[in-house]
Amino acid sequence: MNVSDASIQSLKGIGPVKARLFNKLGLYTIEDLLEYYPKYYKDKSEITKIRDVRPELSYTIRVFVEGKASEARTKSRLTITKLAVSDDTGRINTVWFNNRFIKNTFKEGDEVLMYGKIKRIGKDLVMEAPEYERASSGESVNLMRIAPYYSLTEGLTQKDVRKAVHGALQYLNEKLQDVFPEELRKKYGLAEINFCMNNIHFPESRDKLELARKRFIFEEFFMFQSGLIHIKRMNNEGKKAICFNKEIDVREFIRKLPYALTSAQERVLEEISRDMESPAIMNRLIQGDVGSGKTIVAALALYKCIRNGYQGAMMVPTEILAEQHMQSLAQLFKDTGITVGLLKGSMTVKEKEIILEKVLTGEINIVVGTHALIQNSVSFNKLGLVVTDEQHRFGVRQRALLSAKGDNPDMLVMTATPIPRTLSLIIYGDLDISVIDEMPPGRKKVETYFIDSSKKERLMNFVKKHLDSGRQAYFVCPLIEESDKLELASVEEYCENIKKQYFKKYKVGMLHGKMKADEKNEIMESFREKKIQVLVSTTVIEVGVNITNATIMVIEDAERYGMAQLHQLRGRVGRGKHQSYCILISDTDNETAIERLKYMTKTQNGFEVAEKDMEFRGSGEVLGQRQHGLPGFKLADIFRDVKLLRLSKGAVEYIYDNNKLSNIEYKRMKSILDSRFQKVLEEISLN
C-alpha cells in the first residue's frame, strides 16, 4: 500500500466527525487531500499603498505607527483599540476588538506590516483587526506569503483544510515518488513532485507557485493523452473490422437527393468510405460547423452499412434531437425500404419492448436514440456502424459501450463544436478527423448585432415585425448558475415579463433544463408546428435543433457565454431560406467582453470564432462558462494552457515512440498508467 492511500484520519486533529466533513468533499485519503488543490490564493506578499485600498477588500500595507493606540469601551463592555498608521500616500486607522495587547505592542514610529480587510465607517476607511508583523523582523513568516483558499463545505473552515493539508504534507515528509523520471523532468522543464506539492498548497513565492501549477497541468494533460493513445491502440490492435463492400455504391441514392453534395461533403464521404471498406475499425470524427450538412454524410454511411446487410445505430445527447434525427432519416429513406426506429428513456416499458424486439430481430435497420441505447437490454442483430452526434456530450466510455454491442462495428462521431484544428488533433487524439469546411450554397449569413438593453424597445418592434410576417424567434434568457430552483424561477419570470411587456398578442412558450423529456418534446413540437411563435429558453436549445422557420435568436447577458457557445446558439437560426438575425444583448463594461461580442458580429465561421476564443483566453482572460473543460482536469484548461497541452503531447509521443515504458526508470509511470487507465477512460468526456 502506498502511504498516500492512508485514511485522512491518520492525520492529527482529524477524528471521525471532521473526517465525515472531508468525505463530503470527496476526500477520503491523504492522496485525495493532496490533490485537493486550492481554488484560489490570496497574495499577502504584495504591498499596497494606503491611497489604493478599497472597502471590503483585504490588503497588506507597510506603515509607520502614528502616536499611541487609544482604547475605548462600549456599553456592551467591548474594548475597541484604535491605532493610526500611515505610509507616504496616506493615513488610516486600524481597529481591534477586545485585544488588550495592542496598546503595548506598538510605539510611535514603528515600521509594521499589516494585513486586513478594509471597512467603511461613516466617511472613513479603517482596517479591521489586521494581522501584523514588524517590518524589521527580516524574513516574514505570516504576512509576506501567498495563502491558499479551498472549496469548503458547511462546518469546515479554511483553517481546517489548511491544517489538514499541512498535516498531510508533513505526514508524507517529502517522500512522494515522482511519476516523471528525472530525465523527462529535465527535458520538459518540470519541477520535482514534492517541491510542487508543497508549493501548490503553500507557495513560497509566485514563481514557485507557477512552477508547481505548470507541472500539475502538464501531468493532467499527460495522463489524458496517454489514455487516448491507449484507447487508440486498443481500438486498432489485432481487431478485424467489417470490410463493407465497395460495390455497393451510394451514388444512385445521392443522385436522388434534392441537392448536390458540397465538395467538402464529397471529400469526407470519400474518407469514410475508404475506412468502411478497410479491415481496420473506423474511428472517425466529422467536424463541421452547424448547418454544414454533417447529418446527410452520416446518413450516407448508414445507407452503405444497411445495404451491406448490417444495422446502424445513432446516439444523440437529447430526446429532442433523437426525435428530429429519427424523422429526417425516416424521410430520407422513405422510398428505400430502410426502416428507422426510435429508442428513448421516456418511452413506456411496453413501447421499449416492441422496439428492442425489432432491433434484435433486425426488422429495424437503423435505431436512433439517447443514452437508452447503451443499456444492457439493447441487443442488435448485426450492428455494423455506430454514429454519435454532438460528441462533446458523450464520453469515450459511452461510445465504447455502444460499439461493444456489435462485432467491432465502425464508428463515426459528429461534432459541431468548432475547436481549432491544432487543438482537435490533440483532444480527439484517438480519432481520425474529417472536416466539412464549406457551407451548402445559398446559405444566408446570420446578421449579428450587439446592443445594450437601452435598445430593447426597438429590438422588440423588430421582432414583432418578423413574427407578423410568419417567422418565429428564440429568446435565450439570462443565465442563472446558483441553483435549480433559481433557474426555473428566473426563466418563468423572464418569460412572463416579456409576454406582458411585449408579446401580449403572441404565443410564447418556454423551455428549460428542469422539464421532463416529453414536456420538452411537446414544446419543441409546438414550436415546429408554429403553435408557438416565441420560444423562451435556457441553453437547452443549444444542441442541433433544426427549425427552419425560426429566424431570430436573441441572447440576453451575452457576455456570460463563451464565443463558441454563442456561435452554436446562433446556429439555431439561418437554417432556412429567410434572412436570419442574431441579437446579442449585453450591458457589460468589461473591455474584453465587448471586444468578444463585437467579433461575433463580424464573423460567421465557427473555426475563426474558436481561434479567436483561444486567443482571448490565451491572454489570460477566462470569461464566460467553461465549455471545453474536461472532467477530471483539476487545474488544466485546454484553451488557456494550450502551450502545455502541446508540450505534453510531445512528451507522450516521446515516451511511446521510444518505448520508454519498458525502461526501469519509467516503472512507476507504467504502473500508474496501468492502474489509472480505467479511471482516465471514464473521465475522458468532452463537455
Measured between alpha carbons, how far is 312 from 235 in angstroms, rounded to an integer? 19
Please choose, out of 1-9, 122-130, 196-204, 255-263, the segment that lies near ligand ADP by the rule CB under 6 A: 255-263
Question: Rounded to the nearest whole angstrom, what is the least distance from the CB of residue 508 to Mg ion in the complex?
Answer: 26
Q: Which residue is nearest to ligand ADP (CB)?
A: 293
Q: Which of 45, 94, 225, 265 binds ligand ADP (CB under 6 A)?
A: 265
Q: Which of 199, 225, 262, 448 binds ligand ADP (CB under 6 A)?
A: 262
Query: Residue 555: what are its φ and ψ, rounded to 5°?
Result: -120, 115
Q: Which of residues 548 and 663 has its CB atom nearest to Mg ion in the complex?
A: 548
Interaction of residue 293 with Mg ion, rule CB under 5 A: no
Interaction of residue 434 with ligand ADP, rule CB under 6 A: no
Cell of 271: 474518407
Element containing residue 71 per DSSP (H, E): strand 58-73
Question: Rounded to the nearest whole angstrom, what is the least distance from the CB of residue 412 to Mg ion in the complex?
Answer: 13
DSSP 552-616: EEEETTGGGS-HHHHHHHHTTSS-SSS-EEEEEE-----HHHHHHHHHHHH---HHHHHHHHHHH
Beta bridge partners of 368: 314, 342
199 binds, among ligand ADP, Mg ion, none (CB under 5 to 8 A by kind): none
Please choose, out of 107-115, 304-312, 493-501, 541-549, the segment that lies near Mg ion by the rule CB under 5 A: 541-549
Cα three-residue angle 304-307-313, rounded to 5 degrees: 65
Measured distance between the N- and C-terminal CA atoms of the chain, rounded to whole angstroms: 34
440 binds, among Mg ion, ligand ADP, none (CB under 5 to 8 A by kind): ligand ADP
Asked if 50 and 92 touch (Cβ cutoff 8 Å), the reply is yes
Measured between alpha carbons, how far is 577 from 551 in angstroms, rounded to an integer? 10
Question: Rounded to the nearest whole angstrom, what is the least distance from the CB of residue 414 to Mg ion in the complex?
Answer: 7
CA 476, distance to chain mean position in Å, is 19
Question: Rounded to the nearest whole angstrom, what is the least distance from the CB of residue 37 to ligand ADP in the complex?
Answer: 38
Per-residue DSSP letter, 317: S
Q: Which residue is nearest to Mg ion (CB)?
A: 544
Query: Residue 261: what are its φ and ψ, rounded to 5°?
Result: -70, 145
Size of the site for ligand ADP (CB under 6 A): 15
Q: Which of residues 297 and 645 has its CB atom nearest to Mg ion in the complex?
A: 297
Please choose, out of 210-218, 226-234, 258-266, 496-504, the segment that lies near ligand ADP by the rule CB under 6 A: 258-266
311 binds, among Mg ion, ligand ADP, none (CB under 5 to 8 A by kind): none
296 binds, among ligand ADP, Mg ion, none (CB under 5 to 8 A by kind): ligand ADP
Interaction of residue 294 with ligand ADP, rule CB under 6 A: yes
Please choose, out of 217-225, 233-241, 256-264, 335-343, the segment that lies near ligand ADP by the rule CB under 6 A: 256-264
Asked if 191 and 185 touch (Cβ cutoff 8 Å), the reply is yes
Measured between alpha carbons, how far is 457 from 471 in angstroms, rounded to an integer? 19
Please choose, out of 20-28, 121-129, 259-267, 448-456, the segment that lies near ligand ADP by the rule CB under 6 A: 259-267
Measured between alpha carbons, how far is 596 from 330 in angstroms, rounded to an integer? 40
Interaction of residue 570 with ligand ADP, rule CB under 6 A: no
Measured between alpha carbons, how far is 205 from 542 in angstroms, rounded to an integer? 43
Q: Which of residues 193 and 416 has its CB atom nearest to Mg ion in the complex?
A: 416
Measured between alpha carbons, how far is 479 from 538 in angstroms, rounded to an integer? 7
Neighbours of 332 (CB within 10 A): 20
Interaction of residue 302 with ligand ADP, rule CB under 6 A: no
Binding mask 387-426 for ligand ADP (x = CB under 6 A): -----------------------------x----------
Question: Rounded to the nearest whole angstrom, what is the least distance from the CB of residue 571 to ligand ADP in the complex?
Answer: 7
Interaction of residue 293 with ligand ADP, rule CB under 6 A: yes
403 binds, among Mg ion, ligand ADP, none (CB under 5 to 8 A by kind): none
Can you point out the beta strands (E) in 382-483? 383-389, 410-415, 432-436, 446-451, 472-476
Interaction of residue 38 with Mg ion, rule CB under 5 A: no
Asked if 380 and 313 touch (Cβ cutoff 8 Å), the reply is yes
Measured between alpha carbons, how far is 527 from 519 in angstroms, rounded to an integer? 12
Neighbours of 533 (CB within 10 A): 23
Q: Which of 296, 342, 402, 610 binds ligand ADP (CB under 6 A)?
A: 296
Please choose, out of 265-273, 338-346, 440-448, 540-548, the segment that lies near Mg ion by the rule CB under 5 A: 540-548
Question: Rounded to the nearest whole angstrom, what is the least distance from the CB of residue 295 to ligand ADP in the complex?
Answer: 3
Q: Which of 290, 355, 642, 655 binds ligand ADP (CB under 6 A)?
A: 290
Interaction of residue 606 with ligand ADP, rule CB under 6 A: no
Q: Which of 235, 295, 565, 648 binds ligand ADP (CB under 6 A)?
A: 295
Q: Cβ contacts of residue 466 below 8 Å, gap of 6+?
A: 473, 551, 552, 581
Beta bridge partners of 80: 72, 97
Measured between alpha carbons, how far is 491 from 305 in angstroms, rounded to an integer? 44
Q: Which of residues 14 and 446 has its CB atom nearest to Mg ion in the complex?
A: 446
Asked if 381 and 361 touch (Cβ cutoff 8 Å), the reply is yes
Could you tell me which of 642, 650, 586, 655 has the C-alpha nearest to residue 615? 642
Q: Which of 544, 571, 606, 624 binds Mg ion (CB under 5 A)?
A: 544
**Binding region for Mg ion (CB under 5 A):** 544
**Binding region for ligand ADP (CB under 6 A):** 259, 261-262, 265, 288, 290-296, 416, 440, 546
